[in-house]
Structure 1
Amino acid sequence: MKQKLGLLAALIIFLAILGWAFYPKPFDVDIAEIHVGNFERTIEESGKTRLKDRYVVSAPVAGRLARLTVREGDVVRAGQVLALLWPAPPPLLDERRLQEQSEQVAAAEASVARANASLQKSELVLSQAEADLRRNESLAARGFISPIQIENTRLTVQQKQREREVSAQERNAARHQLAQLRIALQRSSGREPLAKQAVAVTAPSGGQVVKLRQQSEAVLAAGANLLDIGDPSAIEVIVELLTEDAAQIKPGALGTLSNWGGPATLQAHVRLVEPSAFTKVSALGVEEQRVNVVLDIRSPPEAWRALGDNYKVDVTIPVQSATKVTMVAVACLFPSGSRSALFVLDHGRVRTEEVELLARNGREAWIKTSLAAGTKVIAYPPAGLKEGDRVNVINTQ
């Protein structure tokens, strides 16, 4: 009998241990409370500063730029000479091409000599014609030559004068061509004297040199950028927002600037939402449509004097707000069909409560529910948690 009772007791203990082992354990959970407060939904994005009025000074003509004497941070006045442009040196030629140009100069010198000889010949012929005219006029005065012969002699003199003028023009043309070829030869051989006149590049407006794009001496094309001028005290903020976020922002909307390096959070307002968007590839390789939003800083200048051009700032722009509304942490919500739901803590177990999600930001959600403020709900519901499960609270948010 005692042996049977012992076996029965052992069986009961075994079954108890087996039941305890397979009995569902409570889930370890964090809890949060539903509360009433002020809700605000914001758009947050990193932006950068830029000068409101930036003047990019460029080379008006192609040429050789002398080394700039201005430095970044220098204050300049309108009309101040910033750079000098000299004529660019000619391209180098090989020995064969130089020899060809030398021969062309020699041929031009021969053409000048030939033109000089032709001019001298024309002058001699003209002198002879003028002597014949004087002699015939003397004979005509005594009646030895008819008036027609005198007229023919005069026409001959006029013809020789025109021929002399043509010879003189041909000599001048030959001289100019020779001079042109000699200049080309000097440029090609590097013996050309430096130009006496340079083109001065002046400042279009007063301000401060904020960036040097070309400082050292160099040969530049027309339109090459040299430096940027602007007023560091006139700064705006530009931020690239997703188009679906930018559509909720209107000019005049208030914003804040943080994490810019200074101790204070700066106040700003939206001045412009640009009308045209652009495509940008995100860090994950996804194409996004973004648009530039421009903000003006409203805080006193002494509060952000350390800000410069192209500095990084974090921009926060509120787009929705409400006071004294029911809120809960976003981490407490989970989808339930087409709506959202919460796990409510009820005497160590959970029950599901559907709510209407009105709005949300990165931390809290504005909800419509019959649950009272102070109701405890599950935060970060673990996978597998369902209606009626037991829970063990390990942390309260």
Structure 2
Amino acid sequence: MIKKAAEYIRIPKKVFFSVLAGIALAITFWSLRPQLTPVDLGLVSEGVFRRSIVDEGITHFKERHIISAPADGITPTIKIEAGDSVEKGKLLFNFLWDHDFPMLSPINGYVLKVFEKDRRHILRGTPILEVGNPQSLEVITKLLSEEVIDVRTGQKAIITNWGKDEPLEAEVIKIEPAAKEEISALGVKEQRVNVYLRMTSDKDLWQNLGDGFRVDVAVITDEIENAKLLPVGALFASEGKPAVFVYQDKKIQLIPVEVGKRNRDFAELKSGMAVNTQVVLYPGSSLRSGDKVKPRTL
């Protein structure tokens, strides 16, 4: 086959086989050349550094009242239902005692629960209704005792997953002094502390939030403006000190850095690099300073 091809194009055999040998040599050289290690890159940026404690929370009407029987007597059929609005000083129902005893609402708000719906004889102190003021809405989150050490009254908090995309702002108003033992979903005993938050966002944004709604809470324990933000995935230890690989001109260079506080995504970069410096993310143990690399993404 090769002979026929050589005769057809009328190339001397020596030249033809020399060309084939050259092609084979080129292919061999190409396959054996050092391969550039692919790496992922991140960027040093500037912005607000935040460190927060994230957990679930429950909304709660702080101002709430239980309407109870003032004496042994008869509660009538209660016509109002949970969710109905009530006005301060307005009649809720008449309790049947020696005479009709008017039961008035102590607040403006809503009926939260109806304990006694049907007409029947009840004893003094029996709960009949519970009413609450939505303007007194607060959020209670139960934080781990080892995390709550960093929480202070007045700190900002962000409320998310409350029903709308826009996050709500709040602040810490109270931290209970004692922890309580609870069992996690995995069956682990935990010591948790109740932390109370007050809404600081405009009331129009959260007016539809009711009592007992589940939300996500992030209590901001640290906030630094105009900080250099280094992706934590770029950090590794070199001779016991933090360092990164900087990418420039297809090569990487090991650079020691000084970092401050960290969160899940970024470290506060105090010295070592300028903003917009490209760094290698999650560098492998085989990488060395001076290696040529190929970025997967820029």
Under TM normalisation by the shorter chain, which class is it? 0.7 to 0.9
Aligned to 1:33: 43
- Structure 2 residue 266 is matched with structure 1 residue 344: no
* Cα separation, partners in 2 of 1:36 and 1:71, compared to 1, 3 Å: closer
- Report the 3-state secondary structure (helix = DSSP H, G, I; strand = E; otherwise coil) of the residue aligned with 1:331: helix
2:106 to 179, 202, 205: 205
Cα distance in structure 2, aligned partners of 1:74 and 1:37: 45
For 1:168-207, list aligned pairs within 5 A: 202=103, 205-207=106-108
Aligned to 2:162: 260
The structure with the largest strand share of the pair is: 2
* Cα separation, partners in 2 of 1:14 and 1:45, compared to 1, 3 Å: same
Instruction: Quote how far apart the aligned CAs of 1:20 are.
Output: 5.5
* Cα separation, partners in 2 of 1:370 and 1:212, compared to 1, 3 Å: same
Cα distance in structure 2, aligned partners of 1:335 and 1:367: 15
Cα distance in structure 1, aligned partners of 2:36 and 2:196: 53
Cα distance in structure 1, aligned partners of 2:93 and 2:240: 67
Instruction: Quote how far apart the aligned CAs of 1:270 are.
Output: 1.7
Cα distance in structure 1, aligned partners of 2:91 and 2:60: 24
Q: Residues 92 and 105 of structure 2 are in contact (CA less than 8 Å); yes or no, is this contact kept in structure 1?
A: no
- Structure 2 residue 54 is matched with structure 1 residue 44: yes
Q: Which one has more relative contact order, counting CA pairs under 8 Å at least 6 apart? A: 1
- What is the count of residue pairs matched by the alignment? 282
Instruction: Quote how far apart the aligned CAs of 1:216 are.
Output: 4.5
| TM-score normalized by the length of structure 1 | 0.58
Instruction: Quote how far apart the aligned CAs of 1:359 are.
Output: 0.9
Instruction: Quote how far apart the aligned CAs of 1:50 are.
Output: 0.9
Q: For the aligned residues, what is the CA RMSD?
A: 3.9
Cα distance in structure 2, aligned partners of 1:324 and 1:262: 29
- Structure 2 residue 100 is matched with structure 1 residue 68: no
* Cα separation, partners in 2 of 1:323 and 1:51, compared to 1, 3 Å: closer
For structure 2, the residue ranges without an aligned partner over 5 or more in a row are 1-12
Instruction: Quote how far apart the aligned CAs of 1:227 are.
Output: 2.8
- Structure 2 residue 270 is matched with structure 1 residue 368: yes
Aligned to 1:232: 134
Instruction: Quote how far apart the aligned CAs of 1:62 are.
Output: 8.1
Instruction: Quote how far apart the aligned CAs of 1:292 are.
Output: 1.5
- Structure 2 residue 194 is matched with structure 1 residue 298: no
* Cα separation, partners in 2 of 1:332 and 1:285, compared to 1, 3 Å: farther
* Cα separation, partners in 2 of 1:63 and 1:320, compared to 1, 3 Å: same
Aligned to 1:270: 172
- Structure 2 residue 279 is matched with structure 1 residue 386: no
2:117 to 215, 218, 222: 215
- Report the 3-state secondary structure (helix = DSSP H, G, I; strand = E; otherwise coil) of the residue aligned with 1:308: coil
* Cα separation, partners in 2 of 1:25 and 1:283, compared to 1, 3 Å: farther
Instruction: Quote how far apart the aligned CAs of 1:206 are.
Output: 3.3
Cα distance in structure 2, aligned partners of 1:355 and 1:223: 67
Instruction: Quote how far apart the aligned CAs of 1:309 are.
Output: 1.5
Aligned to 1:319: 221
For structure 1, the residue ranges without an aligned partner over 5 or more in a row are 86-195
Instruction: Quote how far apart the aligned CAs of 1:301 are.
Output: 2.7
* Cα separation, partners in 2 of 1:236 and 1:19, compared to 1, 3 Å: same
Q: Which amino acid aligns with 2:61?
A: L
Q: Which amino acid aligns with 1:386?
A: L
Instruction: Quote how far apart the aligned CAs of 1:344 are.
Output: 1.9
Cα distance in structure 2, aligned partners of 1:45 and 1:374: 33
Larger radius of gyration: 1
Instruction: Quote how far apart the aligned CAs of 1:299 are.
Output: 3.2
Cα distance in structure 2, aligned partners of 1:74 and 1:327: 49
* Cα separation, partners in 2 of 1:204 and 1:319, compared to 1, 3 Å: same
- Report the 3-state secondary structure (helix = DSSP H, G, I; strand = E; otherwise coil) of the residue aligned with 1:368: strand
- Report the 3-state secondary structure (helix = DSSP H, G, I; strand = E; otherwise coil) of the residue aligned with 2:80: coil
Q: Residues 76 and 209 of structure 1 are in contact (CA less than 8 Å); yes or no, is this contact kept in structure 2?
A: no
2:188 to 270, 273, 286: 286
Instruction: Quote how far apart the aligned CAs of 1:15 are.
Output: 8.1
